[in-house]
Chain A
Amino acid sequence: MIKYISRRLLMLIPVLIGVSILAFSLIHLVPGDPARSILGEKATKDQLEALQEELGLNDPYYVQYGRFLGDILQGNLGESIQSKESIGVELIQKLPATIELAVFAMLVAVIVGVIAGVIAAVKQYSWFDNMSMTAALFGVSMPIFWLGLMMIWLFSVTFDILPPSGRLTAGVELHTITNFYLIDSILTGNWLAFKDSLSHILMPGLALATIPMAIIARMTRSSMLEVMRQDYIRTANAKGLKKTIIIFQHALKNASLPVLTVIGLQFGLLLGGAVLTETIFSWPGIGRYVYLAVLGRDYPVVQSTILIIAIIFVLVNLITDILYKYLDPRIKFE
């Protein structure tokens, strides 16, 4: 097991080098000049050149990339061109917001998706099955930014029951410990802040949950259907076991392997999907951070943030793979 994990971690290295090259080239391919974006339209050629020199933008690409890689290897994520702050510090400030949102969305997606999938499978071709699977089809195809805007329009503008953006209403006090607002408010027993941050996370959380929820529901259904046709389920039925025990104890555990794969992959994708969701709902996480950085051509921020997201993605998938063994002891790590 330890051997397997360390091998997987070693494999991270080529993956991350690939990601860093990709992130570096993508942002440098986008037309636009960071110096121009800082100094504006009216800057003279001299001023632009001076700033480009200062930012090291005049060096050949391989020198710039080498510098980026060298810094990363020393654990230095660099400095934002725009705010001049350390990117590491800014990420630490913003990461909890994104993780809180992603975990919330994943919980919603898993709970609703798995339950809906199980019911749909058990009652195949029932009205519930047809309806939930149609809804899931919509869910998968729905663009997040459109869904987000519609939710704001419905819940904030029309019914006025949920705040349209942010993490906490201005003026609500919260003593932060972990920077996960829901957890912090519980830890400090601050129920006002808990309710407030819950009402803030609900819309972006649901918007972000839509796609994984739909995929999980469909995956659970098909996987359950397959398992339910197995001989041992028929045996269990013949033994006269309670239906709920058969479904949850015998069937779901075996059906959950492909579902877990999807959950692992989707969780990584959530971090990417957060770029759109956080932009629409002004959620102060790394998605919005990277979006604004792309607009401002803040090369170091874009490169380093993409790298961090990639690391999280790979780690989440590693954890998923390890969980396989728990669910299916037949799986051996080689």
Chain B
Amino acid sequence: MKKRYLFMLLAVVAMIISACSDSTGSTADDGDEKGGKKTLVFGRGADSIQLDPSKVTDGESIYVTNQIYDTLVRYEEENTEVKAALATDWDVSDDGLVWTFQLRDDVKFHDGTDFAADDVVFNFERWTTSAEFVYYGYMFGASEEDMGGIIEKVEATGDYEVQITLSEPNAPFLQTLAMPPFGIASPEAVEEHGDDYFKNPVGTGPFIFKEWVADDSITVTKNEDYFGEVAKVDEVIFRVIPDNGARFMELQAGTIDLMTGLNPQDISTAEGDDALQIIRRPSMNVAYMAMNTDKEGPLSDKRVRQAINMAVNKEELIALYEGIGKEAKNPIPPSLWGYNDDIEAYPFDVEKAKALLAEAGYADGFDITLNTFSNPRPYMPQPKVTAQAIAEMLKAVNINVEIIESDWDTHLTLTENGEHDMAFLGWTGDNGDPDNFMYVLLDKDNATVGSAGNIAFYKSDKLHDLLKAAQVEMDQDKRTELYLEAQEVIHEDAPWLPIAHTTPPLAASSSIADYIPHPTGSEPFNLLDMKE
């Protein structure tokens, strides 16, 4: 029995100890400055999958690899126009087939090896060795039979000159090369680490990879010898905090400095807190309702599609986005060059909509289906409620909507096969080129049943000619003109009801300065600073 008393005594002692440290175990100062070092702690919901950007497409991996790697060319800080990076200069032959890049001669990889033209060739060749290099295959049309896709050959034509030959002209080529998956890796590190390279990334970027504790944190440190602007913070720690609410509280407690994935109700809390700020990332996506123009019936009539555009009150739909959505009127987001802001959105006008329907012979309305998906998407947080709202609005013009909800994969199959009348879908841009939205989503080339990206099955020759011309036109100003006109054609024919572009919010401590979120989803943190 004495043992039991001893045990209880121990327990009491333990409790007293814990009570003591309870009040003294403060860690409030473990945030930004440790020994004069500036550390940025970035909180997010999930870990990276791989730190080899050429093999991944998830945002959490790209967030980190963006710090470590450079591409030949990169995007401007605030939009998707392209500027010099590892390549200082470039030109393209008149037929648009041969691109010549002049490279920097003062760059070293983080492992100390020199960067030169051979390294670029090595990387391009590596990307054609396996289907694992997802984005290479996707952007350059590679397949099992032709692993190179539209890139015919890549040669070093000098120590610091690379020539890339294409099999067909591709105007968005430069835009595509700016994408993070085409970051240049150190050939020596790739060969040394083999299958484990994704855990030991070596690039030329503003930060050097230091440590990865799986599911917990990734640390990168400042590259003092960076050829661009040297980072203002010494270290960035990417921390995984799965719960949105807990992550926001960590921001409030000061243990992290910047975070993604806010709960909607926390946005206003952060806005009302002097110690915090909300920073909005410009949109790179679009959510829309496609109307199947291929099916016999009302939707094949342009006037009906226009009427539907007028019968929907977008302001109410945007309210469902809880502060992260902006009304869309075009198929591309405003952050892209070539966005046509002169187009006037269809007004919300029930009477005019009714008149148009009557003109088309549908004064008494009609029955129709609307396909939607069950899980939220980045561009549509509440698909079902949005569908219900639209159904309610269309009732006012006697259109009776039946909602069909399915899981994401089924929804994709149904819509690719054109089994729908109307359907929700969205798109997040890849390379920031208007071609990547309009050609993929609205050109007649992509309206093949079974694999359609154009699920309105909208087949306009006029649009096709404009988009095709823009694909082979190398002059940026002329391309812009073509896309401005293309948006007018689309607006007039109204194959879609454009719904929204989302601007994902980030919350940050108010000490964060000069942080410019990029529309593509992530950016290097070398410009970001932390004030005292």
Is the beta-carbon distance between B249 and A152 smaller than 8 angstroms?
Answer: yes
In the complex, residue of chain A having the shortest beta-carbon distance to the beta carbon of B242: A279
In the complex, chain B residues whose CB is within 8 Å of the CB of A199: 21-22, 25-27
Give Cα A83–Cα B214 distance, bound, in whole angstroms: 8
CB < 8 Å neighbour of B253 from A51, A156, A288: A156
Within 8 A of B (CB), among A86-118: 90, 107, 111
Give Cα A82–Cα B408 distance, bound, in whole angstroms: 22
A198 within 8 A of B: yes
B215 within 8 A of A: yes
In the complex, chain B residues whose CB is within 8 Å of the CB of A42: 57, 134-135, 138, 430
In the complex, residue of chain B having the shortest beta-carbon distance to the beta carbon of A162: B25
Is the beta-carbon distance between B243 and A145 smaller than 8 angstroms?
Answer: yes
Give Cα A41–Cα B375 distance, bound, in whole angstroms: 14
User: Which secondary structure dominates where chain B touches chain A?
Assistant: mixed
In the complex, chain B residues whose CB is within 8 Å of the CB of A145: 243
B252 within 8 A of A: yes
Is the beta-carbon distance between A288 and B215 smaller than 8 angstroms?
Answer: yes
Give Cα A163–Cα B407 distance, bound, in whole angstroms: 40
Is the beta-carbon distance between B430 and A169 smaller than 8 angstroms?
Answer: no
- For residue B346, give the distance in angstroms from its CB to the closest CB of chain A: 29
Give Cα A198–Cα B20 distance, bound, in whole angstroms: 10
In the complex, residue of chain B having the shortest beta-carbon distance to the beta carbon of A289: B215
In the complex, chain A residues whose CB is within 8 Å of the CB of B215: 284, 288-289, 292
Is the beta-carbon distance between B407 and A31 smaller than 8 angstroms?
Answer: yes
B18 within 8 A of A: yes
Is the beta-carbon distance between A169 and B30 smaller than 8 angstroms?
Answer: yes
Give Cα A34–Cα B197 distance, bound, in whole angstroms: 21
Give Cα A214–Cα B11 distance, bound, in whole angstroms: 18
A183 within 8 A of B: no
In the complex, residue of chain A having the shortest beta-carbon distance to the beta carbon of B216: A284
**Contact (A152, B253) CB under 8 Å given A41-B428, A170-B30:** yes
- Band of interface residues on B: 35 or more
Within 8 A of A (CB), among B13-28: 14-15, 17-18, 21-28
Give Cα A120–Cα B250 distance, bound, in whole angstroms: 38
**Contact (A164, B246) CB under 8 Å given A82-B49, A288-B215, A292-B47:** yes
In the complex, residue of chain A having the shortest beta-carbon distance to the beta carbon of B28: A160
Is the beta-carbon distance between B49 and A38 smaller than 8 angstroms?
Answer: yes
B481 within 8 A of A: no
**Contact (A33, B409) CB under 8 Å given A164-B253, A202-B22:** yes
**Contact (A50, B214) CB under 8 Å given A31-B409, A199-B22:** no
- For residue B56, give the distance in angstroms from its CB to the closest CB of chain A: 7
Within 8 A of B (CB), among A169-216: 169-171, 195-196, 198-199, 202
Give Cα A111–Cα B57 distance, bound, in whole angstroms: 50
B298 within 8 A of A: no
A9 within 8 A of B: no
In the complex, chain A residues whose CB is within 8 Å of the CB of B407: 31
Within 8 A of A (CB), among B35-65: 46-47, 49, 56-58
- Band of interface residues on A: 35 or more
Give Cα A40–Cα B4 distance, bound, in whole angstroms: 58
A76 within 8 A of B: no
In the complex, chain A residues whose CB is within 8 Å of the CB of B47: 292
Give Cα A169–Cα B26 distance, bound, in whole angstroms: 10
Give Cα A199–Cα B23 distance, bound, in whole angstroms: 9
**Contact (A161, B26) CB under 8 Å given A40-B56, A152-B253:** yes
CB < 8 Å neighbour of B249 from A164, A279, A292, A295: A164
**Contact (A279, B243) CB under 8 Å given A162-B22, A169-B27:** yes
CB < 8 Å neighbour of A195 from B21, B34, B135, B137: B21
**Contact (A198, B25) CB under 8 Å given A47-B131, A292-B46:** yes
In the complex, chain B residues whose CB is within 8 Å of the CB of A162: 22, 25-27
B239 within 8 A of A: yes
Give Cα A120–Cα B369 distance, bound, in whole angstroms: 63
Is the beta-carbon distance between A44 and B240 smaller than 8 angstroms?
Answer: no
A331 within 8 A of B: no
In the complex, chain B residues whose CB is within 8 Å of the CB of A46: 131, 137, 143-144
Give Cα A298–Cα B380 distance, bound, in whole angstroms: 26
Residues of chain A touching chain B, judged by Cβ–Cβ distance below 8 Å, are 31, 33, 38-44, 46-47, 50-51, 82-85, 90, 107, 111, 145, 148-149, 152-153, 156-157, 160-165, 169-171, 195-196, 198-199, 202, 248-249, 279-282, 284, 288-289, 291-292, 295-296
7 more CB-based (< 8 A) A-B contacts, given A199-B21, A279-B246: A38-B56, A111-B8, A149-B243, A152-B253, A199-B25, A284-B215, A288-B215
Q: 17 A-B contacts, Cβ less than 8 Å apart?
A: A31-B409, A42-B134, A42-B135, A44-B138, A46-B144, A47-B132, A149-B249, A156-B253, A156-B255, A163-B25, A163-B27, A164-B253, A198-B18, A202-B25, A282-B216, A282-B241, A296-B49
Please name the 5 residue pairs, one residue from A and one from B, whose CB atoms are nearest each other, closest first: A199-B25, A40-B57, A156-B253, A163-B27, A157-B252
